[in-house]
Amino acid sequence: MLFAACLLLACLCVSAQHPYAVGSFPHDHSVNLPCNTFISVQLHFPQDGRQPDPATINALTVRVYPEAGGRAVPSRLEYQSAMKYLTLTPMESLKPYTSYIFELSSNVSDDRGAGFMPYKIRFTTGPCAGDSLPPVAAKPPPDSVELIPPRLLGLKTLWSGDTLLLHWEVAHEPPDAEYMLERADENGGFQALSYLRPLADTAHFPGRYSCADPYPPAGPVRYRITMRSQLAASLLSDSARVFRTDIRFMNTSIAAGENLEIAFYVAEKTTLAFVLKNAAGEIVRRKAGFVAPGRTTSEIPLQGVSPGAYLAILRTAERTVAQRIEIQ
């Protein structure tokens, strides 16, 4: 029992040090996928700021191949650093009613040489255009096919710490729909964050999409989602506005008797609570007040506080920031 527990702990420690895939489109064991599907996996790195080493991403380390055996499907590989998505797009159509394996091997590593945990999913295609199966009924001429106009149901946002989660829904999604998510801050126009293709199972509406912006710029930020479809001859978009509050300690080491400087960027006037705790967890200084909207700085006097290590805590209505400081 003890050996099993130690082995489990060792495995957890190893996986915690290696990057890995946290999920994919399509999901494992997905069925009835189109023969022009793509595979996109979201990557996770134990340390912030890491990226995959492009030299290790190739046709041997990231591939899709028939489960029954045979050559890997020639594919194009793309990595989107903003959303940490690695996408494989086959350069030729997959076969109908065929099971495939997508594989990301441990030979893929990040830019510091840490290998990825192996990742593998199985999926199965459905019928494809141009199948050799005999039609069960005469097909109407192309100009008589009526497409239901697509509808974009709105872009919604939700904060999770410093990460902004973006969600949108679409009804009557055309099969050739493409989505572009863009972001604009107060210093410039819109820039593309991510491109997405339609969900594989479009029989269930509304279709739901999600993206994450790990660390938006401070201040007012605008997002725009645009759906394009040539079949439906439509171009739909929706937008959302958020404000990311920024609170920063300007220094982490100050001389005894000096003030602690703090920078704020808030959307509106807000209350502020400051607490300073010593190494024993005792509160040695407490202060409350208001912060004006916009970019401001404030100084908190720490006269009379003895030299040593402290934990400074700032609380506003929106967030709490903690920083260890040293008074010399």
Taking Cα atoms as reference points, which of 119, 110, 113 lies closest to residue 40? Answer: 119
Q: How far is CA 211 from the centre of its chain?
A: 5
Structure tokens at 114: 């840490």
The correct answer on CATH 2.60.40.10 for the domain covering 150-244 is yes
Q: How far is CA 90 from the centre of its chain?
A: 23
- 199 close to 175: Cβ distance less than 8 angstroms: no
Fold entry, domain 11-125: Immunoglobulin-like (2.60.40)
- 200 close to 280: Cβ distance less than 8 angstroms: no
Q: Please state the CATH superfamily assignment of the domain spanning residues 246-327 in this structure.
A: Macroglobulin (MG2) domain (2.60.40.1930)
Whole-angstrom Cα distance, residue 168 to residue 90?
27
Note if the pTM is more than 0.75.
Answer: no
Whole-angstrom Cα distance, residue 103 to residue 219?
40
Q: CA–CA distance from 38 to each of 77, 89, 99, 123, 281 (Å)?
A: 10, 5, 14, 11, 53
Q: How confident is the model at residue 199, as a pLDDT?
A: 57
User: What string of pLDDT tens digits covers the 328 residues of the chain?
Assistant: 434 434 333 333 344 478 998 878 787 888 888 888 888 888 888 877 688 999 999 999 999 999 999 999 999 898 877 668 888 989 898 999 999 999 999 999 998 899 999 999 999 988 875 433 333 333 333 444 445 677 788 888 988 777 888 888 887 777 677 788 889 998 888 888 777 766 544 444 456 777 888 778 999 999 999 888 776 677 888 899 999 988 889 988 999 989 999 999 999 999 989 999 999 999 999 999 898 999 999 899 999 999 999 999 998 877 788 999 999 9
Q: Do domains 150-244 and 246-327 have the same CATH topology?
A: yes
Whole-angstrom Cα distance, residue 239 to residue 228?
15
Domain ranges for the chain, please list them.
Answer: 11-125, 150-244, 246-327
